[in-house]
Amino acid sequence: MLSTLRISLSLLFALAASLFSSPNVLLIYTDDLGYGDLGCYGHPIIQTPNIDQLAAEGLRLTQHYAPSALCSPSRAALLTGRTPYRTGIQSWIPEDTGIYLHKQELTLAELLREQGYATAIIGKWHLNSDLGNQKEPQPSDNGFDYSYGHNAFQTPTNRNPNNVYRNGKHLGVVEGFTAEIYANESIAWLKQRKAEGEPFFLYLAPAEPHTPLENPDRFNAMYSEYSYGPIVPIPSGGAIPYEKLNANGPGEYYANITTMDHHIGRVLKAIDELGYRDNTLVIFSSDNGPVTSDWINWWETNAYGSTGGYRGRKHGLYEGGLRVPAIIRYPGMVEPGSVSEALSIGMDLFTTILNQTSARVPNDRVLDGVDLSPLFEGKPLSDDRSFFWALPTRWDKDYVYRRGDWKLILNSQHEPVELYNLKEDKLEFFNRISEENNIVSQLMAGFSATWTSIQNDPLRPN
């Protein structure tokens, strides 16, 4: 009996240790994926069985927003918990501009590394203007022990990219498709963590479905009826390929997302096979809304993203450019198959991850996110939240301030130009700025206070 008691106590202590240990974190942040681009968010054609299963096993957010309608600012906000303009990353970062995420910012990777986590970014970085140039802060300067991937976008296409770096070293041409390459690298890194017994933070940032697109034949074949004639890849990173700029239909775009889903599924399967599933917090989202068939740049040709019917697209501050899918799976903590309409934003993921891992939440700077953990138990968040977005746009609609159901859009001179009630008018058809003077005044006061806070932020680069 004594022997049995000892075994039972050992099992109890082992269970307690697993329950109270800090979870591993897998953060998947896709590139240009639209709110309506997944089966679990209503797309009638694109097959995404692995991401759909992730949603079935976790919490699906239906009013989640990217911090910006472009990649670099959203990624800066995701990793720092601070609205992009506080970090100095106001738009996407062109090559050789000397714009980068400054070292005074504290990232998720740095804070989790303090907790003993192994940290890696695999995929897209795009928080400096020259990946591999030590004159600018690199992933290793922002808390990542390991980095493997590209910067702005894959060149010449998703196939055989020539701009991949490992820990700052340029690798030349890497054979394969980016979705597979990054999944392979992720799985190898996860196996290494298992061998070394370390908790991990893996920031997996797929290239998909950002153009330029190219896919394995078997995935293109799945959607051949949606392609008009042969698929001709449109390379980027060189001279403009005028002769290849033809509208070939959405089949290639659909195939690109299914390719991404397949390889994300491989990473999730590896999590299971390595025994990590029950103690791994998995978060999936996108950096901004999609490139729709309303192309405004030549390199966007043959992107056919879906906003789920919302107005606008990437580059703009209407709902279609900002509202993105978000899924959280955390066994034993999140009810499988749950759905929340709570308002949330990318900076919330920073705060949520830190609280779930018991990592330090910085108190020496302004953070713009809240902890989403109450949603895990079906509890509400505060209904008095406000949201701020800023982005230089070609339409001179550069700022948004939202509180509750009301969304105010301002031009580059901070003048209010449009007002929408998103509860009554979720598609932003009816501009009510001329009939709601009191609402406009209230929102303008909130916008001004937020803008002043950003301008006076002691960490904001000059």
- Long-range contacts of 368-372, Cβ-Cβ distance < 8 Å, separation of 24 or more: 368/77, 368/81, 368/82, 368/83, 368/86, 369/81, 369/345, 372/328, 372/342, 372/344, 372/348
Q: How far apart are CA 2 and CA 5, in angstroms?
A: 5
Q: How far apart are CA 87 and CA 93, in angstroms?
A: 13
Which residue do the tokens 């974190």 mark? 25
Partners of 146 in the β-ladder: 120
49 contacts 268 by C-beta, under 8 angstroms: no
The one catalytic residue among 43, 64, 71, 210: 71
Would residue 126 show up in a list of annotated catalytic residues for this protein? yes
The one catalytic residue among 40, 43, 64, 126: 126
Q: How far is CA 203 from the centre of its chain?
A: 10
Determine the residue type at 127.
L
Partners of 437 in the β-ladder: none
Would residue 40 show up in a list of annotated catalytic residues for this protein? no
Residues in the chain: 462
Closest CA to 25 of 357, 360, 338, 265: 357
- Catalytic amino acids? 71, 126
